[in-house]
């Protein structure tokens, strides 16, 4: 899909130079990131899929379940800044392979847990090891893609977090019903270990990749990409400031705070779906996942369509001359407006209407997920990793705040207060992108 949407945008770049046609090696890289994200989000959300039965086996209360579901978010957020320093210093080939292998091992061992504390400990480990993942994705796409292709590229790999859940949730629910919840952790952990090895052998930066020619390198660089980013980071390392000075810089810009808080709103809605959504359907709307089948997967499929269409729309608007600020903001803000409609489900009793409300909301959430394209464009060149880490740190505080808040807001058999809370987070995101971010342009140091 990505390659089909780019043909009109590549024309002026393909005419540059000696007439050599650019290769398309960068599209192979984006599919590799797509697989990474599918595995990343399966290991984040597999706990939510097995939560109803796991809750019965381990005798968990709603507050205990909320604590376990939020445990991932504590270390995922806490490790963002230190992990981002590694992202600016370690080649993605090495760092991604190591991180992926470690969080997959922690996921695998969750298949053997028998206590509340052991489950929390392993979820904390998964969160810590997944911390570098999205800053690495951002570095890779900045390295490999020109500006006018970047939103589509980010939309494609980000869609992995939804397409994996959309198509694999029914399969995982069936496997859990047949083989038990422990099998889910063993299977998803093993898949991650295999892909960590594959990433190590397959990924290279543009200047060292096989199958790329000089025309494609020119296309990337002249279009605003940074194919020599690893070399530039190595050369600038002696001139970098202290970590506290760099942190102070990325925390001092109102434009960046608009991105941080806006993404917090996006992630708040997203983490409802990644944690409490199956339990909401089963315990509060009496919809069995195994029986619902494809219907329960519709919200995830809609989010996949949302993020793909949002990236394509954003790049199309940019090519039509709208300007990067409006081209990037329109899909994000519109998506958050749709995501905020989730509270309407409070007045729905028919399972089909409940799923329809969830589907519309998650479609909007997916549309808003291309906010990473703003980070790629706005972040100072030397601090792309740190800016992405801070963006992910602040926004992913929602990963532990939201699951725990929902556990506290649930009242008896009523789930209305949590849905109003999720909706309010979407509204906060809208206000941040509209009023704080301002013009989309790279911040100079």
Q: What is the largest CA-CA distance in the chain?
A: 70
DSSP, residue by residue, 261-308: HHHHHHHHHHHIIIIIHHHIIIIIS---HHHHTHHHHHHHHHHHHHHH
Q: In the chain, what percentage of residues exceed pLDDT 70?
A: 89
Phi and psi at residue 209, to the nearest 5°: -80, 145
The model's pTM is 0.70
Return mean pLDDT, the chain: 82
Rounded-to-integer distance, Cα 247 and Cα 245, Å:
5
How large is the average pLDDT for residues 354-367? 92
Cβ partners under 8 Å of residue 33, min gap 6: 137, 140, 141, 157, 160
**Tens-digit pLDDT profile for residues 123-137:** 999 999 998 888 898
Asked if the model's pLDDT at residue 176 lies above 70, the reply is yes
How large is the average pLDDT for residues 426-430? 94
**Tens-digit pLDDT profile for residues 401-425:** 888 888 889 887 888 899 999 999 9
pLDDT of residue 15: 42
Lowest mean pLDDT among 136-150, 170-184, 225-239, 326-340: 225-239
**Tens-digit pLDDT profile for residues 39-65:** 988 887 788 778 777 777 777 777 777
3-state secondary structure 185-208: HHHHHHHHHHHHHHHHHHCCCHHH
Asked if the model's pLDDT at residue 210 lies above 50, the reply is yes
Residue 221, Cα to own-chain centre: how many angstroms? 26
pLDDT of residue 360: 95
**Tens-digit pLDDT profile for residues 81-136:** 888 778 878 888 999 999 999 999 999 998 888 778 888 889 999 999 998 888 89
Confirm if 423 and 341 have CB atoms less than 8 A apart.
yes
Asked if the model's pLDDT at residue 195 lies above 60, the reply is yes
pLDDT of residue 229: 62
pLDDT of residue 359: 93
Confirm if 442 and 379 have CB atoms less than 8 A apart.
yes
Please tell me the CATH superfamily of domain 25-206+213-222+245-435, with its number.
MFS general substrate transporter like domains (1.20.1250.20)
């Amino acid at each position: 899909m990505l390659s089909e949407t780019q043909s009109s945008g590549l024309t002026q770049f393909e005419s540059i130079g000696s007439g050599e046609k650019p290769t398309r090696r960068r599209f192979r890289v984006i599919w590799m990131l797509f697989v990474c994200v599918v595995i990343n989000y399966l290991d984040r959300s597999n706990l939510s899929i097995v939560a109803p039965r796991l809750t019965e086996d381990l005798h968990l209360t709603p507050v205990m379940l909320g604590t376990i579901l939020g445990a991932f978010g504590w270390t995922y957020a806490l490790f963002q800044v230190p992990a981002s320093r590694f992202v600016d210093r370690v080649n993605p080939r090495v760092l991604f392979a190591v991180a992926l292998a470690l969080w997959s091992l922690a996921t695998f061992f969750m298949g053997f847990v028998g206590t509340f504390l052991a489950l929390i400990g392993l979820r904390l480990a998964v969160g810590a090891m997944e911390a570098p993942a999205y800053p690495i994705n951002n570095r890779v796409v900045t390295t490999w893609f020109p500006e006018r292709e970047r939103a589509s590229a980010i939309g494609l790999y980000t869609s992995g977090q939804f397409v994996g859940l959309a198509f694999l949730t029914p399969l995982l629910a069936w496997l859990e019903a047949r083989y038990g919840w422990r099998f889910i952790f063993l299977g998803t952990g093993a898949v991650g270990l295999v892909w960590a090895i594959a990433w190590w052998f397959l990924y290279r930066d543009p200047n060292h990749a096989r199958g790329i020619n000089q025309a494609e390198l020119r296309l990337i660089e002249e279009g605003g990409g940074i194919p020599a980013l690893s070399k530039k980071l190595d050369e600038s390392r002696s001139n970098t400031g202290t970590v506290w000075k760099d942190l102070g810089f990325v925390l001092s810009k109102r434009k960046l705070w608009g991105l941080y808080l806006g993404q917090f709103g996006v992630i708040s809605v997203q983490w409802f779906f990644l944690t409490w959504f199956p339990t909401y359907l089963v315990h509060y709307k009496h919809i069995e996942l195994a029986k619902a089948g494809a219907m329960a997967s519709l919200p995830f499929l809609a989010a996949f369509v949302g993020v793909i269409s949002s990236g394509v729309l954003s790049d199309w608007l940019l090519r039509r001359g709208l300007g990067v600020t409006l081209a990037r903001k329109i899909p994000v803000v519109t998506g958050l407006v749709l995501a905020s409609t989730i509270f309407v489900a409070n007045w729905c009793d028919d399972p089909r209407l409940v799923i329809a409300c969830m589907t519309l909301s998650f479609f909007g959430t997916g549309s808003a997920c291309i906010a990473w394209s703003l980070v790629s464009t706005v972040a100072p060149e030397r601090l792309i990793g740190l800016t992405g880490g801070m963006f992910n740190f602040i926004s992913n505080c929602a990963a532990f705040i939201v699951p725990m808040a929902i556990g506290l807001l649930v009242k008896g058999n009523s789930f209305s207060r949590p849905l109003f809370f999720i909706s309010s987070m979407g509204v906060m995101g809208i206000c941040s992108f509209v009023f704080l971010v301002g013009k989309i342009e790279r911040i100079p140091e």
